[in-house]
């Protein structure tokens, strides 16, 4: 079972979703990294979680990412660290060079999904290694699959979001899914058994406790998405 670094690593001094965070995750034993992607003002697929800069700048900048040019995002000090936001292509290049996988989470809080779908499909066309596209919104995944049928997709689930499918219906809709990424509180032996019988792989987010990680391993989940790969790698 592999470890996936959530936004790279969030347990160290590096800013989340930056090249430094992804490098640290891989050096600590992650087999893959998870990142969030959205469009900036200049049209690139930029790696950034929140829709705005408020949290990343401790309230100093309230602009939405979609209104900020990539050159400015790249030169910022995010979360108090001397690291700016990378492009999706930069992380794909790092993963290729390091022999690692990438989980690209497409953000769902968009005013228009089409341009992001187009940009992600374009960037993934360069990737010939282990890449997975995930989202909480199955409509976004459907659009990716329609544009690039060979792309592996994973549905993120949580009971707190209106677009999450009930777990009981996932198996019936699993034909196109490579994986389901379950929130840690949704995992049970029965859910794991039913989905895996359908050929669906299972990731779990966000697991940071070593005892919980051991319990997940016993249930047979395929990978753990964690803020702290180093703590779970041993």
pLDDT-based confidence at residue 209 (cuts at 50, 70, 90): very high
Query: pLDDT for 38-85, tens place per residue?
Result: 999 999 999 999 999 999 999 999 999 999 999 999 999 999 999 999
pLDDT above 60 for 168: no
Question: What residue ranges define each of the domains in the chain, with the CATH number in brackets?
Answer: 2-35+87-233 (3.20.20.190)
Query: What integer best gives the mean pLDDT of the chain?
Result: 92
Q: Is 198 exposed, middle or buried (0-12, 13-18, 19+ CB in 10 A)?
A: middle
Mean predicted confidence (pLDDT) in 106-121: 90
Q: Coil, helix or strand for 221?
A: coil
State the Cα–Cα distance between residues 48 and 39, nearest whole angstrom.
9
pLDDT-based confidence at residue 138 (cuts at 50, 70, 90): confident
pLDDT-based confidence at residue 130 (cuts at 50, 70, 90): confident
- State if pTM tops 0.75: yes
Mean predicted confidence (pLDDT) in 141-163: 86
Structure letter (DSSP) for residue 9 = -
Query: Is there a contact between 176 and 153 (Cβ–Cβ < 8 Å)?
Result: yes
State the Cα–Cα distance between residues 192 and 189, nearest whole angstrom.
5
Q: What is the pLDDT of residue 167?
A: 58
């Amino acid at each position: 079972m592999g470890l996936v670094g959530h936004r790279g690593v969030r347990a160290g001094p590096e800013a989340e979703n930056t090249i430094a965070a992804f490098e640290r995750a891989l050096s600590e034993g992650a087999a893959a990294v998870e990142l969030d992607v959205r469009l900036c003002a200049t049209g690139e697929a930029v790696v950034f979680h929140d829709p705005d800069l408020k949290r990343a700048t401790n309230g100093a900048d309230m602009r939405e990412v979609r209104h900020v040019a990539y050159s400015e995002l790249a030169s910022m000090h995010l979360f108090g660290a001397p690291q700016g936001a990378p492009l999706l292509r930069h992380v794909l290049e790092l993963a290729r060079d390091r022999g690692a996988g990438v989980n690209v989470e497409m953000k769902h809080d968009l005013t228009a999904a089409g341009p992001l779908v187009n940009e992600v499909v374009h960037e993934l066309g360069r990737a010939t290694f282990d890449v997975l596209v995930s989202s909480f919104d199955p409509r976004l995944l459907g659009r990716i699959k329609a544009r690039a049928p060979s792309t592996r997709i994973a549905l993120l689930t949580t009971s707190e979001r209106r677009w999450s499918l009930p777990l009981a219906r996932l198996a019936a809709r699993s034909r196109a899914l490579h994986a389901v990424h379950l929130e840690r509180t949704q995992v049970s032996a029965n859910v794991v058994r039913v989905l895996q019988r359908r050929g669906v792989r299972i990731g779990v987010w966000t697991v940071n406790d070593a005892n919980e990680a051991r319990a997940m391993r016993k249930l047979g989940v395929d990978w753990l998405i964690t803020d702290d790969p180093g703590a779970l790698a041993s």
